[in-house]
Structure formats: C-alpha cells, structure tokens
Amino acid sequence: MNQKINRLFSLALGISITLIACNGGGKKEEEAATTDSTMTATTDTVQQVAQPETVDAVKAAPNLYKILHDTMGIRVLETTYKPGDSSALHSHPDYALYVISGGTAEFIDKDGKKNVMEMKSGMENIRPGEIHSVKNTGKTPIKVLLVEVNRPMGTASLDTAMDATKVAPNLYKSIGDTLGIRMVVASYKPGQSSALHAHPDLAAYVINGGTVEFTEKDGTKHTNEFKTGMSMIIPGGAHSAKNTGKTAIKILIVEVNRPAK
C-alpha cells in the first residue's frame, strides 16, 4: 500500500515539474520574441530616418538674405554679410550675381571643401545651382544681388534679329551668357536712344539712375525714373529707349532665355 502511494506521489511530482518547466520556457520565448520585436522596430526606425534636406537660402539665413521680387520663375535676392557674419548650409538654383559692395568671403561646399574669394565691387557671374555656406572673413560689409532662375532648361522663342545687343551694340553689352541666362549692361548717355529691340523676361538692377523714355512697338510712350539701387522683374517685350535726363544711366539686365513653367 505504501509503495503504491509513493508511486502515485512520484508521478504527480514529475508532472508538476514538467508543467513548471514548460511554462517557464514559454515565458522566456515570449520575452525573447518581445525583445526581438523591439530591436527590429528600433532598427527600422533608424533606417527610415531621412537625411536633412538642404534649406533655401532665405529660410536658412533670413537675417542675411532678403527677397526683393519673386515672380515668373525669377527671384531677386539682396544679401548682406557684415564682417564675421556666416550662414548655415543652403542651396541656390541656377543664378546670376552682381557684387554691389565687395569684400572677402569663405565658401564651404556640402563636402566641406573651402574656397576663399575676393569679391570685388562690380563683379558679376552666372553660376549653376549649388549648395554651400558662406562667411564674411574680411573687414568690410559684402552686399550682393542674386537673380535666381526657377525655370526648366530650354530655349524660349525669341526673334534674334531684335536682340538688343545686335540692334544697339553701342548701348547694350553682353557680359555673360550661359545656362539660358544672359547678363547685359545697358549704358545710355544723356540724349542717346536706341531703335526698336526686344528682351525676354528679365530682372534689372539700376547701377546709375536717371530718366528714360520708352516707346512701345505700337507707338505708346511712357517715361520712367530709375533710381540708383532700384531693382525689378519685367516680362519680355519690345521697345525703343531714350535717355531724356541729364545723367548717364547704367542698368544691369539679367535676361532669362528659358521657357516659363
């Protein structure tokens, strides 16, 4: 009788131990599964983190870049860097620049490459879209006019025979022409006038101001007072022009020979 009770007790004890072991293993597997799930989620999160996009110049440094005009896929910016001023990494589309007040600037591209430039007053350039940061490392404030072009590449339909530099080469001089952007300097002495000519959409900056009378192709006349430092964006059109004032006029014209979006 005692032997039978002992056998039953041993059997019950064995079953209990087996159940405990099974339950313990189940908990470990659940914990392992939870841990694996957490690790996978964390890894996925890390993989899905996007690299920060380069910021527009005005957003990256609103204290340094000021929008003067923005229309027709053309944006005119004025940027002023005092000695020691610097901007974070930012981007520009294809653009033309004109240095109003020069100085020394250090440019750092997205790869960390540094380039120190002496930017002289009156300097102009046309540049492809780029990413960089800038610092005024000189002792004088730098002021630059930027004309950014937010239009697709291509050629606008123009009558080349009406090109201002061909109609009046003594008054209009091309100083740069690439990427569908042309920089032209118009210089009119008092009393000088041009025959009828045409321009594509353009941005203009008045280097030396004065009074100009324009005659449209239909004969309509209007007079404009251009003040030094004034800028504007003008849709393409044809006209003749005459300096009706007493001062020599000099205007920087940035023509955009690209189709509008």
- For residue 237, the domain's CATH number is 2.60.120.10
Residue 73 lies in a domain: yes
What DSSP character marks residue 227?
A: P
Residue ending a domain, choose from 123, 149, 175: 149
| Widest distance between CA atoms in the chain | 137
Residue 154 lies in a domain: no
Whether 205 and 220 map to the same domain: the answer is yes
Answer yes or no: do 100 and 134 share one domain.
Answer: yes
Task: Assess whether 102 and 186 both reside in one domain.
Answer: no
Tell me the residue range of the domain where 183 lies. 160-256
pLDDT at position 53: 62
Helix (H, G, I), strand (E, B) or coil at 10: helix
Q: Are 209 and 170 within one domain?
A: yes
In a domain, 98, yes or no: yes
42 and 61 part of one domain: no
Asked whether residue 22 falls in the same domain as residue 79, the answer is no
What pLDDT is recorded for position 236? 94
Tell me if 131 is assigned to some domain. Answer: yes
pLDDT of residue 244: 98
Is residue 261 in a domain? no
Q: Do 173 and 127 reside in the same domain of the chain?
A: no
CA separation, residue 152 to residues 77, 129, 256, 258 (Å) = 20, 12, 11, 7
CA pair distance 257, 166, nearest whole angstrom: 16
Backbone angles phi and psi of 165, in degrees to 5: -70, -20
- Are residues 192 and 105 part of one domain? no
The tens digit of pLDDT for each residue in 68-100 reads: 999 999 999 999 999 999 999 999 999 999 999
Same domain, 38 and 67: no
User: Is there a single domain that holds both residue 116 and residue 196?
Assistant: no
Please tell me the total count of domains within the chain: 3
Residue pointed to by tokens 């620049």: 97
- Tell me whether residue 29 is in a domain: yes
Phi-psi region at 181: left, alpha or beta (left = phi > 0; alpha = psi -120 to 50): beta
- Interacting residues of 142 by C-beta distance below 8 A, sequence separation 6+: 79, 80, 81, 99, 101, 102, 103, 105, 119, 136
- Determine the Cα–Cα distance for residues 80 and 57; give it in Å rounded to an integer: 12
155 in a domain, yes or no? no
* Domain match, 142 and 165 both: no
pLDDT band for 260, please (50, 70, 90 cuts). Answer: confident
For residue 255, give the H/E element and its range.
Answer: strand 249-256
Q: Which of 120, 149, 178 is the last residue before a domain boundary? A: 149
Note the Cα 250 to chain centre separation in Å. 27
> 85 and 1 in one domain?
no
Count of C-beta atoms within a 10 Å radius of residue 79: 20
Q: Is the pLDDT of residue 138 over 60?
A: yes
**CB burial of residue 186 (10 Å; 0-12, 13-18, 19+):** buried
pLDDT in tens, 150-205: 999 987 777 889 999 999 999 999 999 999 999 999 999 999 999 999 999 999 99
62-66, 131-135, 156-160: least confidently modelled range:
156-160
DSSP letters spanning 44-94: HHHHHPPPPPPEEHHHH-TTTEEEEEEETTEEEEEEEE-TT-B--SEEE-S
The answer to whether residue 70 is domain-embedded is yes
